[in-house]
Structure 1
Amino acid sequence: MRAVSTVLDVAVFLLLVSAAVGTLVLADPPEQTDSRADETAEIIASSTLSIEYGLAGETRYAHGTIAELLARAAVANASFEGASLASMDGRFSATVTKETSERLVAPNRTQIVARWVPYRGGPLQGHTVVGQAPPDGLDVHSATISVSVPVAASQERAANRSEDGYDAVARTVAVAVADGLLPDNRVDASAFRESPTASATTHRYETFAEATETGVSGLLESGSVGTAHNRIVAGLARTFAADMRDRFDTPAKAAEAVQTGTVHITVRRWDA
């Protein structure tokens, strides 16, 4: 079985966006003894999940903890200024949600939310939710765990660049996001045009391009993937910088909000 790489190559990119997801197999988790959220969080962090999915007529496998798969589902559900970056029908996220719910969500007593925001409050974010929100008026136990995703952690670099202003912090975030979510000039152009990733990748490029008022369609059609990638980085950096100026008092404060490589998973449990 091939494990999920920490580097977001094209195969893992497909894992994030592909509609060709097969079944999920989960080892029996430890028995939950009460309604405390920290117990469920521990199960999520430690119990493993295997994914079988189709790629170009082949069966492929990925493996990780429930938390890791929920984190990838959150990234797969990403939207930019309200425009969805997810391609096709979102079966990967839906399958992860369904299988997690069946094994971990006590009827009407548990909610799990995985959320990815490259910097707090920014226009790019993704999430996946398992279970309903708790009713009003009940005591709710909560616990949060953090999970790394295949997007570079860039807070330290952003902090080091903060003396150069908002533009430098924003570009640091833009590079991490684009390198994590979009194939670039490391992908052979002819393979890019013919690959099963083409539809999903084109959708994601063009969604980013539209939201940042950047043109890439002609570049993708001609196979100039590297140039398209660089334009998206520039467009994201402009958008992030304008947003950071509006919401953070200083570039240093903006850098403190950066969390590109992390998904936060919050578990809430309550008594019926």
Structure 2
Amino acid sequence: MTSTVLDGVICLLLISAAVVTVTTATPREPTGEGRAADVASTLATTTATVNYTLTPAPEPATAGDPESTAVFDRTAHGTLAELLARAAVGRLEIDGRRLSHTRDGLSRAVIRAVGATIRANHTRITAVWRPYPGASVEGRIVVGGRPPPDVPVHAARIAAPSGIPSRRAAVRDAAESEGIEGIADVVADGIVDGLFPPTRTRIAAGERDAALVRHRCRLAERRVGVDGRATLAHGGVAAANDRLATALSDRVAADLHGTNASTRRVVERVRLGRVRIVVRTWP
């Protein structure tokens, strides 16, 4: 199964990640550190395939059942930049608290794939998904150590898709009619629909992943402060997502007001659909 945004849904449900295997589409010796722009170009053009298995917390009756984990086998393919973006979104945090550590295995796999092409010595790569200004909701992944003090550092920036709908037109329309609160509603709805796609979540809720989907919903509700729970059965996915989006909208609005930025400036800086990747190199 090819990894999609739905993988981000299932990943948030799990308790631990299994051993990950990695293959790259460009088997060669890692390149030297080079200039930041060269490294950024390599990330944007070199493809890799990452095979990994996500393992949920098994129930006692299925702990030894190989079929219980086979359903969580995944394959992610794309440029190194796209894989970094996927891993960054998978490491979602709210107020600095990770929703789950279950994608740590994927993160390690992506880091190895990057390291197979680019030596991390004298290079630091940071991929950050920060969907709006002052966001308390973000994800990031870092490859390489910090540069030493007092050395010249060169930087280059690229962007990769986050897998979350951008909602650019809706953000502009909401800003004109409702200001910051309108922007917050659109942003929150986009984040929830991107991480928890209604149709695919509803399908998963009716299959053997149902317990995991319910767990994900409860976990997300606790993080954003939803009172009570909406059932996922019989079409309850839409109701659950609405409750999550409403609670998250309040948080987003508070974040945006806290920046003291104009509504126009906020509109310009909403980036739901983009992960920023910064490459830093030094001698």
Indicate how the Cα distance of structure 1 residues 204 and 13 shifts in structure 2: closer, same or farther if over 3 A, else same: closer
Whether the aligned pair in 2 keeps the contact of 1:118 and 1:260 (CA below 8 Å) is: yes
Q: Distance in 2 between matches of 1:192 and 1:71?
A: 27
TM-score between both structures, scaled by the size of structure 2: 0.81
| Kept in 2: contact 1:184–1:225 (CA 8 A) | yes
Report how far residue 248 of structure 1 moved. 3.1
Evaluate the alpha carbon distance shift between residue 243 and residue 117 of structure 1 in structure 2; reply closer, same or farther with a 3 A threshold.
same
Shift of 1:139: 1.0
Query: Which SS does the other structure have where 2:102 is aligned?
Result: coil
Shift in Å, 1:167: 1.2
* 2:62 counterpart residue number: none
Change (3 A) 1:46 1:21: farther
Query: Which residue of structure 2 lines up, in the alignment, with residue 170 of structure 1?
Result: 184
Distance in 2 between the 1:138 and 1:203 partners? Answer: 47
The residue that corresponds to 1:93 in the other structure is: 107
State the match for 1:145 in structure 2: 158
AA at the equivalent of 1:119: Y
Distance 2:109 2:12 in 1: 12
Counterpart amino acid of residue 127 in structure 1: R
Decide which of 75, 79, 93 is 2:89's aligned counterpart: 75
Whether 1:212 aligns to 2:211 is no
Q: Matched residues in 2 for 1:160 and 1:54: separation?
A: 41
Structure 2 partner of 1:23:
21
Between the aligned partners of 1:89 and 1:161, the Cα distance in structure 2 is: 34
More divergent stretch after superposition (93-102 vs 173-182): 93-102
Change (3 A) 1:185 1:45: closer
Q: Which amino acid aligns with 1:138?
A: V
Match in the other structure for 1:156 = 169
Q: Which amino acid aligns with 1:182?
A: F
Aligned residues: 264
CA distance in 2, matches of 1:3, 1:178: 21
Q: Which residue of 2 aligns with 1:228?
A: 240
Whether 1:245 and 2:224 are equivalent positions in the alignment is no
The alpha-carbon deviation at position 3 of structure 1 amounts to 5.2
Secondary structure in structure 2 of the residue aligned to 1:159: helix
Deviation at 1:245, TM superposition (A): 1.8
What is the Cα deviation at residue 90 of structure 1? 1.9
Tell me which amino acid in the other structure corresponds to 2:96: G
Residues 52-71 of structure 1: matches in 2 within 5 Å? 52-54=51-53, 56-58=69-71, 59-71=73-85
The 3 A distance-change label for structure 1 pair 208 and 15 is closer
Once the two structures are superposed, residues 181-223 of structure 1 have per-residue CA deviations (whole angstroms, 9 ceiling, x without a partner) of 114355337x416533743x44543343223321354535887
What is the CA–CA distance in structure 1 between the aligned matches of 2:172 and 2:28, rounded to whole Å?
Answer: 40
Q: Give the conservation status (yes or no) of the 8 Å contact 1:52–1:62.
A: yes
Aligned to 1:114: 127
- CA positional deviation for 1:37: 0.7
* Aligned partner of residue 91 in structure 1, secondary structure: helix
- CA offset digits 1:25-53 (Å, max 9, x no partner): 11136864563111111111111110223
How far the C-alpha of 1:231 sits from its partner, in A, is 0.1
TM-score normalised to the size of structure 1? 0.84
CA RMSD across the alignment:
2.8
Structure 2 counterpart SS, 1:138: coil
Partner of 2:65: none
Deviations 1:88-135 (A, max 9, x none): 36211122123323431243x111100001112211000000010100
Distance 1:34 1:94 in 2: 20
Contact 1:52 1:60 in 2 (8 A): yes
Amino acid aligned to 1:36: R
Deviation by residue 1:155-190 (Cα, 9 ceiling, x = unmatched): 33212221221111001101110011114355337x
Q: Distance in 2 between matches of 1:210 and 1:125?
A: 17
Preserved CA contact (<8 Å) 1:85 1:203: no
Q: Where in structure 1 are there 5+ consecutive unaligned residues?
A: none
Asked if 1 retains the 8 angstrom alpha-carbon contact of 2:30 and 2:118, the reply is no
1:96–1:194: structure 2 CA closer, same or farther, 3 Å change rule? same
